[in-house]
């Protein structure tokens, strides 16, 4: 019968031989003719089989016909012989990091073997880890406020009495690929005899606590240093000879700051735009990995200096100074930071983390703003406010310029873009639970809400998933 002929290996090879000897017009006509015949024969044969209820035979015939049609159509579209199957499969693998980055093989020690990656589903073989949505997660958080002692009080939402816990049970799901969950044992193995630093403001401090809490499920980190105000600190994992630091440098540039822990200032910040902060530059070359970030502090009132001379300011109406705007200062410092990184010839892996959005609704920090959401937002539900848009645009523009220069200088510079996924988590902030049991005495008490930092555990833990993927496959 015809179906036996099609299924026969020898006849199939002869059929393919004839097919590949045809020109394009003849191929197209032959495919159409075969398709019509297959459809007609398939219907006739199916009706006959239906009468006898031979289900298994039905299934086998269907698979054979679909397989042959796909093979012929694929070979036509590629205009190659069947040996083209191998490169086609190779092209479906990730061919570049999921974010804008620059990598070099000579820095092999900073680029572990690619064993941790995922298969993308898009035709270009790329996956942008920053674009996706939050999906329900049935597992448990890596840690709790009881199991991790590193959590600061202002981010310890459970201890402070936050009643809901649904915000803990979501995971970040990038479009077009699978993002594996952070693997603490494997990550620590990759970090043997290494050093890592988080450089920036209180969001960097928030992140390092998440990072340490997750890693401490394998081995407890030992604190080996802190400054007078506990803003810069260092921890050590003895079994791995691995050091983790947080370096307080909210502007990444030299600054005199007159502000308490609650953000109350007694005078304008004095910011030197042309001088980078020695708190991080003096340690820079000793670090194997680092995450550098800034942003939010530039929105604050400040006097700007260059060459120790006042240049202007941002929002200083009581001063007779030129209003330059925070965007001027931020761009200038970003350029200085990237110029320093590129000219350093340092072979470490350097991440620049994008600014994170806040979710104040109904006002700002000291003006009645609150964040009462209990679940992630949908894409498009939240937009960056104008100030955050300005910060993000400057970051992306300056990073793009820097990455081109970094390529020429063999500097391993990466962008850790956490803005899109963080924007969709208005439910992940402490809100009034920045403070211990804020409604214990009065359920209607007026409490300052924190809609900028993140509860621990919480959505910020997913940033570590991105880091693991970028380090392992970077």
Cα–Cα separations (whole angstroms), residue 126 to 62, 146, 175, 236: 34, 39, 11, 36
8 Å CB contact between 121 and 176: yes
Give dist(CA 184, CA 229) in Å, integer: 29
- C-alpha to C-alpha distance for 41 and 47, rounded to whole angstroms: 10
Q: Of the residues 453, 461, 462, 465, which is catalytic? A: 453
147 is catalytic: no
Handedness of CA 289, 237, 283, 270 (dihedral sign): positive
Token digits of residue 134: 């939050």
Q: Cα–Cα distance between 319 and 303 in angstroms, integer?
A: 9
Q: Which of 339, 331, 204 is nearest to 279 (CA)?
A: 204
Of the residues 450, 461, 462, 465, which is catalytic?
450
Beta strand segments in 277-369, E: 289-292, 302-306, 309-314, 349-353
Residue holding tokens 């006898």?
Answer: 52
Angle made by CA atoms 234, 237, 239, in degrees to the nearest 5: 160
CA 156 to chain centre: 23
- Cβ atoms of 310 and 320 closer than 8 Å: no
Sequential DSSP letters for 63-123:
HHHHHHHHHHHHHHHHTS-GGGHHHHHHTTS--S-SSSB---GGGGGGS--S-S-----ST
For this structure, is 79 an active site residue? no
Catalytic-labelled residue, pool 101, 195, 202, 245 = 202
- The residue assigned the tokens 């693997």 is 183
Using H for helix, E for strand and C for coil, what is the string for 207-229?
HHHHHHHHHCCCCCCEEEEECCC
Residues in Cβ contact with 360 at an 8 Å cutoff, skipping those fewer than 6 apart: 369, 370, 371, 449, 451, 452
Query: Is 202 a catalytic site residue?
Result: yes
Instruction: Locate 207 and state its tokens.
Output: 């992140």
Question: Active-site residue numbers?
Answer: 202, 450, 453
């Amino acid at each position: 019968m015809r179906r036996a002929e099609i299924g026969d290996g020898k006849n199939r090879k002869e059929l393919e031989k004839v097919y590949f000897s045809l020109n394009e017009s003849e191929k197209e006509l032959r495919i159409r003719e075969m398709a019509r015949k297959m459809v007609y024969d398939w219907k006739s044969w199916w009706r006959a089989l239906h009468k006898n209820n031979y289900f298994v035979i039905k299934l086998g015939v269907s698979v054979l016909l679909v397989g042959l049609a796909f093979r012929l159509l694929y070979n036509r579209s590629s205009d190659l012989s069947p040996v083209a199957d191998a490169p086609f499969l190779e092209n479906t693998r990730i061919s570049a990091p999921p974010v804008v980055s620059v990598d070099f093989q000579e820095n092999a020690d900073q680029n572990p073997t690619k064993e941790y990656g995922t298969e993308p589903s898009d035709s270009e073989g790329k996956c942008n880890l920053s674009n996706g949505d939050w999906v329900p997660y049935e597992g448990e958080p890596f840690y709790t406020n009881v199991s991790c002692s590193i959590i600061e009080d202002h981010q310890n939402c459970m201890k402070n009495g936050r009643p809901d816990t649904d915000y803990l049970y979501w995971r970040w799901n990038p479009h077009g690929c699978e993002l594996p969950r952070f693997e603490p044992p494997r990550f620590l193995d990759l970090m043997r005899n290494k050093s890592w630093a988080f450089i920036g403001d209180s969001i960097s401090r928030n992140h390092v606590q998440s990072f340490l809490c997750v890693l401490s499920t394998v081995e407890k980190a030992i604190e080996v240093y802190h400054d007078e105000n506990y803003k810069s600190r260092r921890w050590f994992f003895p079994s791995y000879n691995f050091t983790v630091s947080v370096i307080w440098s909210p502007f990444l540039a030299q600054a005199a700051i007159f502000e308490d822990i609650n953000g109350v200032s007694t005078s304008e910040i004095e910011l030197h735009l042309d001088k980078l902060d020695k708190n991080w530059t003096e340690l820079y070359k000793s670090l194997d990995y680092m995450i550098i970030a800034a942003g939010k502090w530039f929105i604050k009132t400040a006097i700007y200096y260059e060459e120790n001379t006042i240049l202007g300011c941002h929002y200083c109406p009581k001063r007779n100074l030129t209003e330059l705007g925070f965007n001027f200062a931020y761009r200038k410092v970003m350029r200085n930071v990237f110029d320093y990184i590129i000219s350093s010839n340092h072979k470490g892996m350097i991440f620049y983390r994008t600014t994170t959005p806040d979710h104040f609704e109904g006002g700002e920090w000291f003006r009645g703003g609150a964040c009462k959401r209990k679940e992630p937002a949908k894409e498009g539900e939240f937009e960056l406010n104008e100030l955050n848009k300005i910060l993000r645009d400057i970051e992306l523009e300056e990073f793009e310029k820097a990455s081109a220069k970094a390529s020429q200088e063999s500097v391993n510079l990466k962008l850790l873009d956490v803005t899109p996924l963080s924007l969709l988590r208005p439910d992940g902030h402490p809100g009034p639970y920045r403070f211990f049991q804020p409604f214990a005495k009065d359920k209607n008490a007026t409490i300052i809400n924190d809609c900028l930092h993140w509860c621990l555990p919480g959505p910020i833990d997913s940033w570590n998933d991105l880091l693991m993927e970028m380090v392992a496959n970077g």
